[in-house]
Each structure stands twice: as structure tokens, then as C-alpha cells.
Amino acid sequence: MCRPPSQPTGLSQRISLPDDEGMTTVAVAEPSALAIDLTSQAFKECPFPTLARMREAGPVIRVRFPLFGKVWMATTYEAVNDLLRDHHQFVQNPVTAGNPWMRALLRWLPRNLKPLATNMLLRDPPDHRRLRSLVDQAFQRHSVEALRPRLAVLADEALDRLESEAARSGGTVDLLTHFARPFPLAVICEMLGLPLEDRPKFTHWASRFSTASSFVGIFWGLFTGVRQMMRYVREEFRRQSRQPREGLFAALIQAEEAGDRLSEDELVAMVFLLLAAGHETTLHQITLSVLALLDHPEQLAELKRDWSLADSAAQELLRYISFAMVTKPRYAVSDTLFHGQSIRRGQMLFACLASANSDPSVFPDSERLDIHRHAQKHVAFGAGIHVCLGAKLARTEMEIALEHLFTRFPNLRLAVPRADLRYSARPGTRALLALPVRLE
């Protein structure tokens, strides 16, 4: 909930706030940005001290975020939830909030990438409600529990290839490249109904931007990989419009709500979102979960003795790791007071999911991994109307991946010193570039 303003320090600004007699313009002070580096290897390796420092600075603070500059960030569990659930005061579309910088950026976006700027994650009600209902129709045809046996088969197939690769390379293999990526990619391609022979293309395109280690690499990989994936999705749209295959792609084409259907651009953006988000989040969550369990051998040993703990372990690993550390920005539609800070119309607010998930007021002893913890209140998948559509699928993939991996290779261990592992420089996420292991 919103609170009265605290006593901030910094530069003065003037905002207009509603009162009983209309709008009143008041002068307030804007706090200086907290000096933290959210992209450093040290932060990605162990984020908890920095996250605690952010919460101590306040529920809503000013930070410098790469590319965006000085922005607001919600840090506590309560402030993050309030921000994500208030789609009236804080919107996804910067144009709605009158943000001139983002409006200009969208105008300069290449024509073939423009549909991505209007995907469901960047829509607000009523457009978001319309798109979500159409996509929900398609998803409801595919029960995650009914898919569990097939997911297990796909996991075992990926483990077969992992074992073969390890045998060819003398016993050492990159778990990220040879299991954590191909398994969820196979799942989402099969769910969409994409041809088996096309999966290597997606592996190549996706790897261009999901493992880049520099800002230049990230943007170049994003541009080239996304452009090729978009072209493929448009071609597949035309093929399946004429000759549908079994899967979500055809279901999305056929989905209809009160006489309304997805346009080609909307469908292209949706399928791309499912392909990108549907495998990247899961691949990094699997990789980091394996590392976290290797870092906590007593927890891993307990899990291997009793796989009925897989569900609570997956929930706790989602909370503990928080691959998506920071959400996409929300924009204030008007001047407002939010958790003690004065926010101007058009200003960006980010929700720090990782900080919310380590808030000790909600998760006691939050820096400790505990597979028995009841962590279902975590916000690893967001909250509110934009909560992740594939959250249950991703969690089920995690459970299956961990159980099948450690059952088949119970003595799996790191193949390099722990300190040699490197993290991606992508802001807002926590992702390893590789995880070399020995299967043994």
C-alpha cells in the first residue's frame, strides 16, 4: 500500500498531487541514486548483501540501471507486489504515460521488429485482457500434468545426448549447452507444434543472445537472432494457416473470443514470446538450480533420498535464485506518492524480484536455501495481471530435469573450480555463461 512521503534528500522537483480541492503542486526532494553495480560478477555471484542494502535504503529507491540511467526501483516484498498489481497507476506502455524518450525509441525500432514492442507483456488493459484470454484458450487445451510423461521422455532424450557428448569430450561437458538449453527448447517447440528438424535453428538463434557476455554481444546477438526467428515465425504462420499441425501455434491461430482473433503481428509477437521466454527462463533456472544444489550438498542428498520434495525444492530454488532479478519497467501515468517517494508522470519504476524474494519479513533466514521452506509466495514469475503464463510448465520442467539428471548421474560434480564460473553481463538477470560438469 502507499505511504506518506519520508524525508528524502537530493535535488528538488515539483509534482502535482490530488487533494480534496483538486490538484495541488508541491515541491519535494528527489533522492540521490544508491551507488550499486547490478551487472558485476560479484553481484551475480552473491546478490544477497547488495539486495539487503537496497531494502535498508527504502522500499522504493533511486538506482542507476544500465541503459536507462537513474530510475526508481521497488525493493521490498510489499512494494514490489503493490507495483506489479497496480495496473491503473503504473502501466507497461510508455506512450500511455507520456514518456517521450521511450516513444522516440519505439519509432526508431526496425519495421520487422516492431511487433515485439506490442507483445502481451507490454500491453495494458483492455488490450492485455483481450490477448491474455485468447492465449489462455490455446493453453487450456494442453494440461501440464497430462504432459508430464512426455516431458520426462524429452528430458531423457536430452540426457542421452548429454552423456554422448561427455563421452566424446573425455567426461567433461557443459550442462547449459547440452542439457539445460535443449530440454526446455524441445518442450516449447513440441507444444507449439513446430517440426522436429527445425529445433537446431532455434538452438543456434537463441544461443546468440542468451549467452552473450558483453553489452555489444547482447545487442548484436539479440538483433540478428531475433530477426531470424521472426522471419521463421511469419513463414510458419502462413504454413499453418493453410495446413495446421497439432499444437499451440495452430490453436493460437484458431483461438477466438467474441468474434475476435489474433492478427498476424500479434500472433508473431506471441509465438516469439513463448519461444524466447518459454525456454530461456527455464534453461537458466535449471542451470543455476543444479549449481545451487551442488553448493548445498546436504540439501541435494536429502532431495535424492526423497523426490517427493521436488515441488517444494523447485519453489524454493525459484525464490532463492530469481533468474529474472528485475522486471521490465512500469511507467507512472500521473504524479503520485508511492511508498514514501514522489514519482513524476512518465518516470520508470522497476520491481526487483530478487530483493522481494529475499525479504526477511516474508522469508525468514532468506539467504539460506531450504528445500522444506513453504516458498509459494515468491514472485519469481511476477505478480498481478502480467504473472508468467507458463509458470506451472516451467516449474514442472525444473522438477523433471533435476530428478532425472541426479537420478541418472548421482555423482555429478563441477569440472572446474567454483570461482572460475562466469555470469552474463545482461542487466536484470542472473545467468551463467556455462556450467562445465563431470557426470561420473
pLDDT digits (tens, 9 = 90+) for 345-380: 999 999 999 999 999 999 999 999 999 999 999 999
Asked if residue 1 is part of any domain, the answer here is no
Distance (Å, whole) CA 112 – CA 130: 24
Candidate from 234-243, 296-305, 308-317 with smallest mean pLDDT? 234-243
**What share of the chain has pLDDT > 70, as a percent?**
80
Asked if residue 183 is part of any domain, the answer here is yes
Greater pLDDT, 125 or 435: 435
Q: In the predicted model, is pLDDT for residue 84 greater than 80? A: yes
End-to-end CA distance of the chain: 52
Candidate from 137-141, 244-248, 311-315, 394-398 with smallest mean pLDDT? 137-141
Give the pLDDT of residue 3. 35
Non-local (6+) Cβ contacts of 115 within 8 A are: 230, 265, 266, 268, 269, 272
Question: How many domains, in total, are found in the chain?
Answer: 1
Asked if residue 194 is part of any domain, the answer here is yes
Residue 29's DSSP bridge partners are 12
Residue 394's DSSP bridge partners are none
Asked if residue 2 is part of any domain, the answer here is no
Over residues 106-116, the mean pLDDT reads 64
Asked if residue 248 is part of any domain, the answer here is yes
Q: In the predicted model, is pLDDT for residue 137 greater than 90? A: no
Q: In the predicted model, is pLDDT for residue 298 greater than 90? A: yes
Helix axes 264-295, 199-210, angle to 10 degrees: 70
Give the pLDDT of residue 274. 79
Question: Mean of the per-residue pLDDT values for the chain?
Answer: 84
Q: What is the pTM of this model?
A: 0.85
Q: In the predicted model, is pLDDT for residue 164 greater than 80? A: yes
Amino acid at 224: T
Q: What is the pLDDT of residues 280-293, one digit of tens each?
A: 889 999 999 999 99
User: Contact, 99 vs 106, CB < 8 A?
Assistant: no
Which residue from 50, 41, 65 is spatially nearest to 355, judged by alpha carbons?
50
Between β-strands 341-343 and 336-338, what pairing exists: parallel, antiparallel or unpaired? Answer: antiparallel
| pLDDT classification of 5: cutoffs 50, 70, 90 | very low
Q: What is the pLDDT of residues 7-53, one digit of tens each?
A: 333 444 445 455 555 554 444 456 788 888 999 999 999 999 999 99
Give the pLDDT of residue 270. 81
Q: In the predicted model, is pLDDT for residue 437 greater than 70? A: yes
**What's 409's domain CATH number?**
1.10.630.10
Asked if residue 4 is part of any domain, the answer here is no
Q: In the predicted model, is pLDDT for residue 72 greater than 80? A: yes
**What share of the chain has pLDDT > 90, as a percent?**
51
Between β-strands 348-351 and 69-74, what pairing exists: parallel, antiparallel or unpaired? Answer: parallel
Q: What is the pLDDT of residues 394-421, one digit of tens each?
A: 999 999 999 999 999 999 999 999 999 9
Domain that holds residue 431: 10-438
Q: In the predicted model, is pLDDT for residue 162 greater than 90? A: yes
70: left (phi over 0), alpha (psi -120 to 50) or beta: beta
Asked if residue 31 is part of any domain, the answer here is yes
Q: Half-sphere exposure of 413 toward its Cβ, with a 13 Å CA cutoff?
A: 6
Give the pLDDT of residue 11. 40
List phi, psi (to 5°) of 58: 145, 160
Q: What is the pLDDT of residues 229-274, one digit of tens each?
A: 788 888 888 888 888 888 888 888 887 555 667 788 888 888 777 7
Give the pLDDT of residue 197. 84
Non-local (6+) Cβ contacts of 352 within 8 A are: 51, 54, 73, 74, 75, 80, 325, 326
Give the pLDDT of residue 357. 98
Asked if residue 302 is part of any domain, the answer here is yes
C-alpha dihedral sign at 115, 117, 119, 124: negative
Distance (Å, whole) CA 182 – CA 155: 9
Q: In the predicted model, is pLDDT for residue 140 greater than 90? A: no
Task: Output the CA angle 360-330-266, nearest 5 degrees.
Answer: 120
